[in-house]
A and B are shown apart, each in its own frame.
Chain A
Amino acid sequence: MAGQRRAKQTGVVIAVLDRLLPLWTQPVDSRDNAEAAFRAVYADPVVVNGIEMPVADMVGRARALQRAFDGLGMDILDAVETPDRVVIAFLMRGRHVGPFISPLGTVAPTHRDIEVRVIDILAVTAGVVSAIWVVSDDLGLLRQLDAAKLA
């Protein structure tokens, strides 16, 4: 697994990130019970960009991400924390080694190294992430894979 580099954070941010980031960067199927591991961090369902998502779907997303990208790592660029919110801007890095299911369709492996800018706003309720607003630079990712063009 690639390492996680961090800007200065304390308290809530570290507590959440220590539990959350490994779920996405360490192989989902190396865990005895992946859904239980995700439920220890996320409410079930968790609200993602206003839509309820069962934890099982989050596990599926993580599995699909790890199938598409090897050596996943996150470099934290900035973080903001309050008692019930954690905001992180980060660069997700990895190598594109498997089918990547993008909003435009599936992109065959290119074996390129990629870097994607992402910002998450996490709502933390009773110690778990209950809601997420997230925007990632999917267009930038597809451009790095030479996989998008104007229609």
Chain B
Amino acid sequence: MAFTVDGLMRLWDDLPADPAALEAAFREVYADPVVVNGERRTLPELVAMASGMRSVFADTRREAIEVVETPGHVAVAFRLRGRHVGPLPTPLGTVRPTGRTVDLRIIDILTITDGLIGAVQMVADDLDLLMQLGAVTLAGQDNQLAGEGLAGSYRQAHELGGCCSPDLLARPATWTGCAPGRRRRVACRRLAASGCRS
């Protein structure tokens, strides 16, 4: 079966429930082992990881937003949306289910050999994911912006390009024009948490 980005997205969105069928489906797409960010992973390890993710996020849908294909390589930027329904293991610890819907940005560069993915360079915006879950904060800083409180958030939002009107600092009860840039979103989310409304 020829490799396609749509097929890859469907595989991860609709993982077969039967373990044997799951591994067989992965063997149609991935080499064994596959090298992920420079580390060799056996196919059963990859399948176990995918299976584990199924219990963390429900109703997942992947949407390719940019695809670049050449002989031997496919790069794909995509969004992963899903609902956080199970314990999420992270490098900082485990995040308990929040029930929140998340929208994660990921870019993969896939090396295709004989029709199978042999290597992957990938980066996921895991920090943004944890922020969407309200699960992360700064640690151990004396002069962090978070310590500056709401005024810091206003200032950051303003400095990051017009989320807030220029006179916002003088009128802290209102805030308008919140565009969906990530850092802007962060600052605006803090403002929203403080009770402001766009």
Contact = CB atoms under 8 A, between A and B. Distances in A.
A140 B95 CA distance: 17
A57 interface: yes
A133 B65 contact: yes
B189 to A, nearest CB: 10
5 nearest CB pairs, A to B = A105-B145, A149-B139, A139-B127, A87-B75, A89-B121
B95 A150 contact: yes
Interface of A: 49-51, 53, 57, 77-78, 80-82, 85, 87, 89, 99, 101-108, 117-119, 121, 133-140, 142-143, 146-151
A151 B141 contact: no
A135 B140 CA distance: 25
A149 B137 contact: yes
Contacts of A80: 68, 70, 73-75, 109
Contact of A135 (B93, B107, B111, B148): B107
Nearest to B96: A150
A116 B131 CA distance: 19
Interface of B: 37-38, 65-66, 68-70, 73-75, 77, 90-93, 95, 105-109, 111, 121-128, 130-131, 134-148, 152, 156, 161, 179-183, 186
30 contacts: A49-B182, A50-B180, A80-B75, A81-B70, A82-B68, A87-B68, A87-B109, A101-B156, A102-B127, A104-B136, A104-B146, A105-B147, A106-B141, A106-B143, A107-B138, A108-B142, A119-B107, A119-B121, A121-B107, A133-B66, A135-B105, A135-B107, A138-B125, A146-B139, A146-B140, A149-B136, A149-B137, A150-B90, A150-B135, A151-B137
Nearest to B181: A51
Contact of A138 (B66, B109, B127, B135): B127
B123 A121 contact: no
B141 A108 contact: yes
Nearest to A134: B107
Contacts of B105: 49, 135
A149 B125 CA distance: 16
B177 to A, nearest CB: 13
Contacts of B124: 135
In this complex, the member of B108, B143, B180 whose beta carbon has the largest number of chain A beta carbons within 10 angstroms is B143
B197 to A, nearest CB: 22
A133 B77 contact: yes
B68 A89 contact: no
A32 B37 CA distance: 39
B109 A135 contact: no
Contacts of B183: 101, 103
A121 B142 CA distance: 36
Nearest to B121: A89
Contact of B131 (A85, A103, A137): A103
B178 to A, nearest CB: 12
B92 A103 contact: no
A134 B73 CA distance: 18
A137 B143 contact: no
B77 A147 contact: no
A134 B181 CA distance: 12
Given A104-B131, A107-B141, A150-B92, A137 B152 contact: no
